[in-house]
Homo-oligomer: A and B are copies of this chain.
Amino acid sequence: MSKTYIDQHKELFLEELFELLRIPSISADSKHYDDMLRCAEWLAASLKKSGADRAEVMPTEGNPVVYAEKIIDPAKPTVLVYGHYDVMPVDPLEEWKTEPFEPVVKEGRIWGRGADDDKGQSFMHAKAFETMVATGTLPCNVKFMLEGEEEIGSGSLYKWCADHKEMLSADIILVSDTSMIAWDTPSITCGLRGLCYMEVEVTGPNKDLHSGLFGGAVANPANVLAKMIAALTDEQGRITIPGFYDKVRELTPTERADFNKAPFCVERYKKSLEIGDVAGEEGYTTMERTGVRPSLDVNGIWGGYMGEGSKTIIPAKASAKISMRLVPDQDHNEIAQLFQTYFEALAPRSVKVKVTALHGGQPYVTPTDLPAYQAAAKAVEETFGKKPLPYYSGGSIPIVSAFEKILGLKSILIGFGLDRDAIHSPNESYGLENFYRGIETIVLFYKYFSEMK
């Protein structure tokens, strides 16, 4: 019955998703603030129309949260759906083959910013909800909490959750903001890395200098920054910040063996990324390097002359955005402190250094023996024809660990994305099949979850 409803509304669901994707809700860029509001209003109206008793745009200290609920019986279990309506910036724009905010369907895929992350995935929950309401099969209470700051660290949501603890009471949080290992290897994410995102600025002379008149006698902030970044990792691919690995939970040999059972072909991985070789911490597999080991990446670097031709200067300053992915039981606040202390210590006396923590989040783990995890696994098995593998993703959804701390709730990370979706990159896309099968799977989750409770 649900399947029939979904099949009959395929076109309409897609049209609605396109309306949502057309709103350029880039949270990292403050000039899109009006788009954030417009996007939130659109979602609230959509959830209301789908059958929510209550659906509203609730203010926070930053971008608003869309909250909606349908309480069919307070005695029944409650599912709290979390998602986000903000999207990543779209630069470099010239690399997009289609307009990022003019979604199109090509080759069975939806192309556009947010197609997967996380408008496409969040909207599956809205449509699964609509399906259950319309077909009279909604078996439990549902609450929606869709935020607008996930891509910039969910800054306002922490306080908002703490302020609305009662309203958000539930049995489990359901999230689709992750990927599966592969279309023929379904998986449910049960581990997320934490994040510690820093910005550094190295200042040398009080102005850009002529590199001929001063070159060789004055420390060049760009050269110094390069040396400092280089010193953050060693030849074995390990991070050199003192104390960085102190709290890293090492897997047992059995856990490592189990973890590496998931199908993974390094040659295919290299080919898909067009790289000559993988790289990372010595002694670990690629899956381990992204799943259960911490990492350190320069996300951006800039300084001096970047234009056409040549300019012979010693830049007055050079900057970088540097982030670390963390694993249990690292704490992002502690790591930010360790980073700052070490980075400052690396600086020679010839420069000044400023270190700023931009945002952070804790690592997270879902136990696979939770009833809600079992319900999700059963639903996925039914739609994909295969038992899903538990998966340790390298990504971070910092708010998920905060939900546990603030609301006392575990989260089920039932994501339907794939690596090829190119989230956070130009030419983001999402499979039409992923979208529709995701909706079916979510409906089944509700069925099995209410039966188990």
A290 and B28 contacting across the interface, CB-CB below 8 Å: no
A141 within 8 A of B: no
A425 within 8 A of B: yes
Q: What are the residues of chain B within 8 A of A283 when measuring CB–CB?
A: none
B227 and A230 contacting across the interface, CB-CB below 8 Å: yes
Stretch at the interface among A12-20, A69-77, A203-211, A246-254: A203-211
Q: What are the residues of chain B within 8 A of A315 when measuring CB–CB?
A: 298-300
Size class of the A contact interface (CB-based, 8 Å): 35 or more
Within 8 A of B (CB), among A349-408: 349-352, 358-359, 393-396
Known A226-B225, A307-B29; contact A394-B212, beta-carbon cutoff 8 A: yes
Q: What are the residues of chain B within 8 A of A289 when measuring CB–CB?
A: 216-217
Within 8 A of B (CB), among A78-121: 88-89, 91-92, 95
Q: What are the residues of chain B within 8 A of A314 when measuring CB–CB?
A: 297, 299
A222 and B303 contacting across the interface, CB-CB below 8 Å: no
B304 and A216 contacting across the interface, CB-CB below 8 Å: no
Known A212-B193, A419-B213; contact A306-B302, beta-carbon cutoff 8 A: yes
Q: Closest approach, in angstroms, between the C-beta of A144 and any C-beta of chain B? A: 24
B294 and A318 contacting across the interface, CB-CB below 8 Å: no
| A residues whose Cβ falls under 8 Å from a Cβ of B | 27-30, 88-89, 91-92, 95, 151-153, 179, 193, 195, 197, 199, 204-220, 222-223, 225-227, 229-231, 233, 273-281, 286, 289-290, 293-315, 318-321, 323, 325, 348-352, 358-359, 393-396, 419, 422-427
